[in-house]
Chains A and B, each alone.
Chain A
Amino acid sequence: MFDKGIDSNRVLAPEGEPIEFIYQGHHFHIHAITSRWSESGGWWNRISDGNLHANDLLKIDDQARAVWRVEAAPVGALATFEIELDEVTGNWRIRPTSRAC
């Protein structure tokens, strides 16, 4: 439930920064970005896990992610979410960080 991602085209981010998204069928509008950060690394763990990506051998996938922690509201209700863009696949993930919805 918590980690359920959604499809990238359901986050509206015309300038690169998310503005609106649909989560569990509800349309949310982002009222404020409370923080934003980037993550990457940990690629070497995949070696010991035996979980190398096919193209790791050409160019190592550093698993770069950009994360926004936002305040968003579906039709008047405010909630906090984290929206994550996997920069390699272009997939978005959304995680609510409060149980408002």
Chain B
Amino acid sequence: MLANFTHLRTCSGYSFKYGTATADQLVERATEFGMSTLALTDRDNMAGAIRFVQACESAAIKPILGINLSFLQRKYRITLLATADGGLASLYQLLTAVNFAGGLLTHEILQENIVHTKKLLIMHGPDSQIGAAIGARQLTQGLSIFNSTKDYFAQQGIEVLSHRIRGDGPMSTPFAARMLTFARSNDLPAVITNAVRMLNRSDGPLADVLDSARNLVPLHKRHVERQNSEAYLKDTKAMHQLATEIAQAAGESTAHSLIKTTMQWAEMATLDPRRDVGIGKIHLPEPSVVGGKTQNDLTIQLKQRCEAGLGIKYFGEQSIVAANRLSDELATVRTLGYESYFLTVANITDLARSKSIRVAARGSGAGSLICYLLGISGVEPITHGLLMERFCSPLRNELPDIDIDVESARRLEIYDAVFEKYGRRVATVSMVETYRSRHAIRDVGAALGISPIEVDLIAKSLPHIRARNIAKALENLPELKNLKLDTPILRMAINLAQQLDGLPRHLSMHPCAIVLSDIGLRNHAPLEVNASGYPMVQFDKDDVEAVGFLKLDVLGVRMQSAIAYTISEIERIEGVQLDIDQISLADQKTFDLIASTRTLGVFQIESPGQRELIGKFAPSSFTDLIIDISLFRPGPVKSDMIRPFLSARHGLSNVKSIHPDLDSIMSETEGVVVFHEQVIRLISVMTGITLAQSDEKRRSLGTLDGQQEVCDWFYPAALAQGYQLDVVQEIWEILRAFASFGFCKAHAAAFALPTYQSAWLKTHHTAAFMAGVLTHDPGMYPKRLILDDARQWGIEIKGIDVNKSERTVTVEKVDVDQQVNKQRSYVAPDLNSTGRSLQLPDASGYALRISLADVGGISEREINSIIAARPFVDLADFVRRSGASITTTESLIIIGGFDQLHRIDQSHRVVNGSKGLNRRDLLLHLQDLYKLNGGQKVGESQLTLELLPPPLVAAGLPNLTAAELVQNEVSILGMEVTAHMLNFYGDFLNAVGAVKSSDVIKQRSGASVLIAGVKSALQTPPVRSGRRVMFLTIDDGHGCNDVTFFEDTQQSYAQLLRTSNIFLIRGAVRRTGPRGVSIRATQAWELSSAYNSWLAGNASDTDVSLNNGRNLTTMESKNA
């Protein structure tokens, strides 16, 4: 029996575009081989280290960690291993130093880090500088290179390595033998490795593709590195044979000595996952950072700060309840030693507030009273029944997870503040990008030399799926069949692309996570500088939790920016400083607005599905909003939790009492268990265990095995507390059924707060809120729909004015009597359930001024210079001083940016031949102004006008038509300012009998209708059956319609749907549910061409025929 071999040099897929196997696969194979130890020495980074160590730990393999780096010159590589004696921290430190210096290990870096290098082992292999010297038969030089680094390292060794390449060059057996001889004659340690980069011998083609992708060259014998397939994870026997072959070629009788040294090195470098790698440890900022000397100081500080909050936020009897709860929570925190955690997070939210950046906790953290008192969370946990135990429990040895939402526009300011304050204790987190279908097919295609056009076509046609599912996707997607993918080369390419599945290809920055630690952060993880210039740990979000860093997700939330902007507009216009975090959560008008379902722009409840739900539910309290958000998720929707809840809520069915002890828990949600917190309480009440223990049981319910375990325990435990079997049984059924769909109430409550706040702002400061939504675009709807909503609240929309428009959408006050736009077409739905009419806001007297930033193609620089150079006296002045390009100026003219300045009356009633100036005159004038400059048309550069500008006169050009006006607005601003697009077709649409989207619901199922609208979305989701359906969503100013085009109609209209924006559609009404309706299209037209045909009186050409057999021609003649 041979002693088990240990591979000291192994690259996984984390050696980007080099290694073909995952760390898990390598560990699994080593286990199969009965190996006790395995090293991971990826090239240039350690992103796979934690995953590898965790895989080792669960497979009972002992890990060795190292790295393969460029040394001295890019073409030379050496391998470093961490010794068990604190070597890993040193390796991290050295790697960080190398990364910060540009990725190349040099003598200077070694010198500066000698305390660290002393704890490392170094292997000089055939690809090192020593190897090169030996190859050149310069043995003396080889020795002097060896000696030049001798003092840095714990030990240096010669890495003997043969891939059995033909001949006697590097990686051949004769070469390995020469390196061994070199080691022997100079009395240096020699170890054998196999420089592993593949799992199997058959993975060579995959390695070729990766080489090709890394080097950006197609496969060709001129630039293929790989000569054979020996770089795979060989078993012990094969490695001993290889060692023997090399040893004998070097004149030794056996490989005994070579193997023995290798195993000794393995032993020196073997790490313990817990002790050495620090899996399961916790590293929080030291007391000194958060204002204390000792842990005890922190305990006192935390207590004092919380008690101070208690005095402000709770009164009377409530304060006793709160004080008791607080002392429980503090006791838990003390047991866990998490004081620093809470104080650090509080410090970061304070930092944000000190810069007036809006911040709100999301997630289960809202369940903690401490979080509320410290200002981390804005939701009061006690009255809302939120539990600390769901967030942080002594029974779980992991740091709780807090995410904070901040204004998206100012997210990086918080990063900067935190980096400034915490320095070496903070870093961003990395994210491993793996090969998915598109990248895989692109890299393989390039490697195989398939034409870029063809590769591009295939890649773009593939949905965003895992690479290993490409073949399956190709079978299911009919449109890909035309690509003729069954040629041998493409089949081979697809086969290879599938093998790339899941291999890491790039390390990038996690979009929102940062980690905090003690000052020793760089001892616990290697860092690099990411593309944005922040230090970044080479570990991903799971890894950083495994090594015990405080991870904080700082999420940029556009709604927070919109709220912040709304508040600043209120202050600017009304002179009122609003503290949105102090508003009453029981404002009737706000709930009236929500019940009206006119919630476009409101956080979380603006989607069509949510608006349908709030219409039925009519939430009337903050708790109702929490329930609403929890119910509107796939689980509850699929498992039909909503219907019984609503029918109980509206008194149509009675909530049955299962047991008086449980009533208070169940009644919160009408007997339907919605929240995790309810499950935790139910279990705790019925079995007498603590809430923390109960949360552990709740977690177990997530798996089938766990459910069985909880079941076996729950029955006897609840019976022992004296509950009847039928009660136990009934509650168990509820737990079993709903536990997996339940939602964390604290999380929903944290979401409900900005939901309520935004609804409140929309109710009480409608115009300012709409300006915020238009400026920061937080939601799902295109701006033009938001604008239309604003119009329906009575807000006037004012177009671009070069002297008045700002970089953001601004609120202006207007005289109500002179307000242009007074039609208010929308009527709030009649609420039968309450019989009460809703009080809805009236925002007339306000106007929104469209912003310069909305102009398509305008640059930040242009906006700045236009604003700086204001006011302008005329177009010539603007051209001279604004710094705007001619194209931007043209756009501004076309959308009326100079109308005010040149008194252009753009009312729609102006007929052709009007004597006044119009926008066409301005465009002509602009050309003249530019021609002045030496007859040259100047593009982007500033003009110097030495001649007098030609006079601006009305040339009698026809004015823009109303339709052109709106079309220009849509193409330049992305929204129509003058009026809803369909307004111009009103006569036509009435004539042909088109149905308003709000009236479609009144049609019987199967009725044939005409509808019109502007495209808001066109989707073509892949369908399992292979029968593709196109979904078109259009809006007509009265709401949205969903239109489906099945295969029979697609052929005729697919092109039209893709290229046009505004449609007239004939289709059959299909009812999809009690309130759901969609339209199955049979015909479609571009609306303006249908309109023109109608005007021209040849409606038969467009074949628009009316509902009841009437047609356009007859309609037109009637009108005439």
Contact = CB atoms under 8 A, between A and B. Distances in A.
B230 interface: yes
Contacts of B495: 57-60
B658 interface: no
B226 A41 contact: yes
Interface residues of A, number: 24
Of the listed residues A37, A43, A57, the one surrounded by the most CB atoms of chain B closer than 10 A to its CB is A37
Contact of A62 (B174, B205, B489): B205
B204 A40 contact: yes
B164 A38 contact: yes
A84 to B, nearest CB: 11
B492 A52 contact: yes
B101 interface: no
A62 to B, nearest CB: 4
A62 B204 contact: yes
Nearest to A62: B204
B229 A62 contact: yes
B448 interface: yes
B163 A44 contact: no
Contacts of B226: 40-41
B202 A47 contact: no
Contacts of B166: 37, 39, 67
A90 interface: no
A38 B163 contact: yes
Contacts, number: 76
A13 interface: no
A83 to B, nearest CB: 14
Interface string A25-42: 000000000011111111
Contacts of B205: 43, 60, 62
B221 interface: yes
Contacts of A59: 202, 495
A56 interface: yes
Contact of B174 (A35, A57, A64, A67): A35
A60 to B, nearest CB: 4
Interface in B918-952: none
A44 B164 contact: no
A7 to B, nearest CB: 24
Given A41-B224, A44-B219, A62 B202 contact: yes
A89 interface: no
Interface in B188-245: 201-202, 204-205, 208, 219-221, 224, 226-230, 245
Interface string A57-97: 11110101011000000000000000000000000000000
Interface residues of B, number: 32
B575 interface: no
B228 A40 contact: yes
Nearest to A88: B202
A45 B222 CA distance: 12
Contacts of A67: 166
B128 interface: no
A57 B496 CA distance: 9
Contact of B492 (A38, A50, A57): A57
A12 B695 CA distance: 68
A49 to B, nearest CB: 11
Interface string A11-22: 000000000000
Given A39-B228, A52-B488, A56-B492, A44 B448 contact: yes
A47 B492 contact: yes
A59 B499 CA distance: 10
Contacts of B220: 44
Contacts of A41: 204, 208, 224, 226-229
A45 B447 CA distance: 12
B289 interface: no
Contacts of B230: 38
A66 B230 CA distance: 10
B172 interface: yes
B978 interface: no
A42 B221 contact: yes
A64 B488 contact: no
A47 B229 contact: no
A57 B491 CA distance: 6
A45 B164 contact: no
A39 B167 CA distance: 11
Contacts of A50: 488
Contacts of B229: 38, 40-41, 62, 64
A44 B208 contact: yes
B164 A47 contact: no
B464 to A, nearest CB: 25
A35 B492 contact: no
Nearest to B489: A47
Contacts of B449: 48
B68 interface: no
Contacts of B224: 41
Nearest to A37: B166
Interface string B982-1025: 00000000000000000000000000000000000000000000
A37 B492 contact: no
Given A36-B164, A52-B492, A56-B492, 9 more contacts: A35-B173, A36-B173, A37-B167, A37-B173, A40-B226, A40-B228, A41-B226, A52-B489, A58-B495
5 contacts: A37-B165, A38-B229, A43-B204, A44-B448, A62-B205
